[in-house]
Structures are given as structure tokens and as C-alpha cells.
Amino acid sequence: MSQPEITAAGAAASARRPRRATGATRLTRRRRRAGLVLSLPALVLVVLLLGVPIAQAVYYSMTIWNGITATWVGPSAYLTTFTDPIFWRVLENNALLLLAIPFALGIPLAIAALLHEHVRGWRFFRSVYFLPTAISWVVIGMFALRFFSATGVLNSLLSHLGFGSSATDMLAGETSALAALAITFIWSMVGTNTIIFLTGMATLDPTLIEAARVDGLSRRQIFFRVTLPLLTRFIQFAFVMTVISAFSALFSLIFVMTGGGPGFGTTTLEFFVYQVGFQQVQFGTGALYGIILFVIMAIVGLVQLRLIKPSDGEGW
């Protein structure tokens, strides 16, 4: 092939490359447009069912609204709330309940480790520990009420063991009532988190455990050096679910066990929305607390997503 022919062939190839690139770009654009068109109905539905109610709640949170008439107050309603000591007392209860999360994760993790070893009667105990998951939160609250009350099971048990002088009504004091609520919350999360951890342990490669045993590691060393690091994703997932439950799933327990009392001893922000909005008929202020709870949960969710985000090259 002569030099002019080589030059002409190279020019023709160069001329074809932009066309191919342009064709690929057009195809990508068409796919994006098709994706937008197909997702548009879902987007509209989300806006109607979530966006519009949230926007209305934001508006009413800056009004004095009794359910019939709304008087505009403006952003100063939030400034008034942030100077209210009751509001900070309620947030303090939420913060104290977060102290129960290590127990709500640690106890199920220990139970899952024992059940995974197939100890005697492990099938029976697996069903027993899963039981709280199948029970309604209202039923759990009723059981806890009968357990912690002055004439409840706890005091009867203490009396039979000879510790009758230590009997007390845990639901009568602010600190003890919050402790009783935290214990009930931990118990209610045992089943869910145990199943999560058992599922994670079932996905582990058994050859890794066998290799660790061949190397002379004890069961305790295998758990902390091999099993626990491989369960990181499952622990993070359980942590996310437990934190969300601590902020937004305790209404039934509080309503049945303490009604938010004594005083504001067991009132969380979630329950405070109900108290202000429906018991005190201050729907505007209730909407305000609901927006604050929404913002807190959004921040918590973003932080947790950041923490559990897989590193580059690592998938779920």
C-alpha cells in the first residue's frame, strides 16, 4: 500500500470514530430519557403522597392551628420551641434511650453466636428468642406494665426470693420508668436482631472457621477475630434499624406503659407530637415537633448511610 493510500485510510478511520462516539452518546441520551419517562409516574406519586403533606406540615408548623383556623406566626415559632425547657427534656429522654442500643445489639449477638454453634435445644431457643418479633408492640407494652408495676411479676418474684424490701413500683419514678421502658425496648429488639445476626453467620464461609480452628484459635478468639469482622455489614444494618426504632417506634410502648409520665419522664419526641397535637389540640405546634423529628431522623439516616457506605470496590 502506497503512502497516499495509507494516509487516506487513516483519515477515513478518523472520520468514522466521531460518528461512533456520537451514536453512543445519542443512545445514552435516549436511555436516560426513557428512564426519566418510566420513573415519572412513581415520582409524581411520591410527590403527592409525601412531598405535599410534608410541605403542608412545614407551613402549619409556623402557625397557631386548632384544626379549623390557622394564624400565621412565622419562623419565630421554632425560636420559641428551642427556648422551651420541656422540649429539651423530651430530647434528653431520646438521648438516654440511645444508651440502650449497645445492649439491644450485644445481647442478640451473643445469643446468635450460641445458637449458631448448635447448642443443645438450639431450635427451641431460636423460636423462643424470635417470639418478641411476632408479638404486637401493644401486647409487649401490656406485658411490661404488668411486669414492672407495684403489684406486678417483678415485685412478686423479689418477695418469693426474700428481697421483698427491695420491691418498688418502677413506673412511679421518672428515672425508673425510663429504665423500665429501655429494658422493654431491648427485649422487643432481641428477636429481630438475633435473626439478623443468625442470617449473617449462615452466610459465612465455613472453611474460614475451620482454618482458624486448625491454627489453634479458641472459640472466643474465632468469634472476635474471624466471625465478628465478617459480620460488620449485618451489625451496621441492625444498628440502623435499632436507632430508627428508638426514635420512631416506641409510641405504643409509651402509650400503654406510662402515657409519657410520670411528668415528662418517659415522653419522647415522637410521643410529644401526639400529646401536643391531639391531647392539647395544638396542631400547629404538633406539626412543628413532627418537622423537628423528621429533620433529626433525616440527619441520623444520612450519617448512618455515610458510616455504612461500602468502600471502593467493596459491595454489600
pLDDT tens column, 72-115: 988 898 999 999 999 999 999 999 999 999 999 999 999 888 88
Contact 253, 137 (CB under 8 A): yes
Compute the average pLDDT of residues 139-151.
89
DSSP-derived secondary structure for 177-232: HHHHHHHHHHHHHHHHHHHHHHHHHHTS-HHHHHHHHHTT--HHHHIIIIIHHHTH
Whether the predicted pLDDT of 139 surpasses 80: yes
DSSP 111: H
Mean pLDDT of 9-34: 65
Give DSSP secondary structure letters for 134-176.
HS-HHHHHHHHHHHHSTTSHHHHHHHHTT-GGG---TTTSHHH
Q: How many CB atoms lie within 10 A of CB 226?
A: 18
Q: How confident is the model at residue 309 (pLDDT cuts 50, 70, 90)?
A: low
Mean pLDDT across 135-157? 88
Mean pLDDT of the chain: 84
Is the predicted pLDDT of residue 210 greater than 70, yes or no?
yes
Q: What is the pTM of this model?
A: 0.81
Count the residues in the chain: 316
Domain 78-308: CATH architecture, name and number where available: Orthogonal Bundle (1.10)
Over residues 50-78, mean pLDDT: 88
Give the least confident one: 55-64, 77-86, 294-303: 294-303
Chain CA centroid to CA 188, Å:
14
Q: Rounded to an integer, what distance in angstroms lies between the CA atom of residue 311 and that of residue 316?
A: 10
pLDDT tens-digit profile of 267-278? 999 999 999 988
How far apart are alpha carbons 146 and 280 in whole angstroms?
28
pLDDT at 315: 44
Q: What is the mean pLDDT of residues 224-234?
A: 88
pLDDT in tens, 169-195: 888 888 999 999 999 999 989 888 998
- In angstroms, the CA 102 to CA 239 distance is 9
Does residue 200 contact residue 115 with C-beta atoms inside 8 Å? no
Say if residue 157's pLDDT is above 90.
Answer: no
- Residue that has been written with the C-alpha cell 425547657 in this structure: 85
Task: Give percent of the chain above pLDDT 90.
Answer: 31
H or E element, residue 65? strand 63-65
Residue 96: predicted pLDDT: 92
Decide if 308 contacts 237 (C-beta within 8 A): yes
